[in-house]
């Protein structure tokens, strides 16, 4: 037997036709009233509004948006595993910044994880098919074709980070090279003579820039970086732990380490403790991000602060302007107007800052 009444789920939700029948008018008249269109008398409008209230009719925003040529939705795409998404404070910070900006709009935010080429292609078809009005893409890797697929299809897209110095898709990034240079210079200025580094995955531009900063700091101090003391990680705590053990095997007299993320620094700190090396007395340690991880380490971690929430806010602001531009409502040259930071190409590079704490 079919369900009756107007309460419950979508299957028995009152329809536009039912409102029209209750008010004694046509479906088109109800549609004009619901959408605030002109051409309806005050008496008829009042009768339709009474029927809407009596039946508890709720307009289908999705259908209305699609009819208007938009979806009222923005996708935040993370091409990483759930494990990394929930383990790294960086993603939560970006999400908070994005949400702060979108809270002032009627846009829905859809979080999408992509692990495989098939999932990437499926999402591209979804986005190009008009299911979202814009895309925010974080944690981009060097060979990721998704930004170009979206741009070429006319989908407004803004990146958190970039794939290379020659990035052509609008982006918001941090001064990764300068931040890393300041971190390693701090270690060298405090008397460290054998300074190693634990990098992030080098198919990510941010990780390569932080490695460049490590080398630049040595050059600035009239030294040559020891490539034997460069060990690669993947931004995870486990990789920081393994890389630290490798560094200690390669150089027992190691006295300073720059980790390309706070999460990796927490793993490195555990390896140092297990080896009996005190921090900072025997080995000084510096991270990157200035996340909650840095503040909760014992001792608290010296680190490079990058403006994570500001990154999310700037990304969302730029995307809204890009979406308006795609509708002919704004000048695309003003994507980053009013946002602090240095423009570079089609993007924005935000400053970083060394935060000194107890590990160095």
For the chain, the structural domain boundaries read 10-59, 73-174+309-349, 176-305
pLDDT tens string 70-106: 668 999 999 988 888 888 899 999 999 999 999 989 8
HSE at residue 3, side-chain half, CA atoms within 13 A, is 10
pLDDT tens string 163-221: 999 999 999 999 999 999 999 999 999 999 999 999 999 999 999 999 999 999 999 98
Name which CATH class applies to 10-59.
Answer: mainly alpha
Quote the CA–CA distance of 305 and 267 in Å, as a whole number.
19
10-59 against 176-305: fold identical: no
Which of 171, 229, 244, 238 lies closest to 205 in space, CA to CA? Answer: 171
**E strand segments, the chain:** 73-78, 108-113, 134-138, 157-160, 171-174, 195-199, 230-232, 256-259, 284-289, 302-305, 342-344, 347-350, 353-355
Question: Per CATH, is 176-305 categorized as 3.40.50.2300?
Answer: yes
Q: Take residue 125 and report the two structure tokens written for it.
A: 């078809």
What is the spatial order of strands in the sheet that 284-289 belongs to?
A: 230-232, 195-199, 256-259, 284-289, 302-305, 353-355
Chain position carrying tokens 């029948």: 21
Q: What angle do CA 97, 98, 103 make, to 5 degrees?
A: 105
pTM of the predicted model as reported, rounded to 2 decimal places? 0.80
Residue 14 has a pLDDT of 82
Is residue 80 within 8 A of residue 139, CB to CB? The reply is yes
Residue 1 has a pLDDT of 33
Which CATH fold topology does 73-174+309-349 show?
Rossmann fold (3.40.50)
Quote the CA–CA distance of 17 and 67 in Å, as a whole number.
18
Residue 232 has a pLDDT of 98
Residue 264 has a pLDDT of 98
Question: Phi and psi (nearest 5°) for 306?
Answer: -110, 145
Q: 187: part of which helix (H) or strand (E)?
A: helix 176-189
Residue 70 has a pLDDT of 62
Residue 282 has a pLDDT of 97
Given a cut of 50, the residues of the chain with pLDDT beneath it are 1-10, 62, 65-66, 68
Is residue 242 within 8 A of residue 199, CB to CB? The reply is no
3-state SS class at 54: helix
């Amino acid at each position: 037997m079919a369900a009756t009444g107007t309460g419950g789920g979508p299957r028995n939700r009152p329809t536009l036709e039912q409102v029209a029948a209750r008010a004694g008018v046509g479906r088109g008249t109800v549609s004009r009233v619901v959408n605030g269109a002109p051409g309806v008398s005050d008496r008829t409008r009042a009768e339709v509004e009474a029927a809407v209230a009596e039946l508890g009719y709720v307009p289908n925003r999705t259908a209305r948006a699609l009819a208007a040529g938009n979806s009222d939705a923005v996708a935040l795409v993370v091409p990483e595993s759930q494990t990394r998404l929930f383990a790294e404070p960086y993603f939560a910070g970006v999400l908070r910044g994005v949400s702060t900006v979108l809270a002032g709009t009627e846009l829905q935010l859809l979080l999408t994880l992509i692990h495989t080429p098939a999932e990437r292609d499926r999402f591209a078809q979804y986005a190009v098919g008009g299911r979202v009005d814009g895309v925010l893409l974080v944690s981009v890797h060097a060979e990721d074709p998704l930004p170009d697929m979206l741009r070429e299809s006319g989908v407004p897209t803004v990146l958190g980070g970039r794939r290379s110095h020659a990035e052509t898709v609008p982006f918001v990034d941090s001064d990764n090279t300068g931040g890393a240079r300041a971190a390693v210079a701090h270690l060298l200025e405090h008397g460290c003579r054998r300074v190693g580094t634990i990098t992030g995955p080098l198919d990510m531009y941010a990780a390569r820039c932080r490695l460049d900063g490590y080398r630049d700091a040595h050059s600035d101090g009239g030294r040559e970086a020891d490539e034997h003391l460069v060990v690669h990680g993947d931004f995870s705590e486990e990789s920081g732990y393994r890389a630290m053990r490798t560094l200690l095997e390669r150089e027992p007299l190691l006295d300073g380490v720059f980790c390309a993320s706070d999460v990796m620094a927490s793993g490195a700190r555990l390896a140092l403790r297990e080896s009996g090396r005190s921090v900072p007395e025997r080995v000084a340690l510096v991270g990157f991000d200035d996340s909650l991880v840095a503040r909760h380490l014992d001792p608290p971690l010296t680190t490079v602060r990058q403006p994570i929430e500001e990154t999310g806010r700037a990304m969302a602001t730029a995307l809204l302007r890009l979406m308006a531009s795609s509708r002919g409502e704004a000048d695309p040259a003003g994507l980053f107007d009013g946002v602090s930071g240095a423009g570079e190409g089609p993007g924005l590079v935000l400053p970083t800052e060394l935060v000194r704490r107890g590990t160095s």
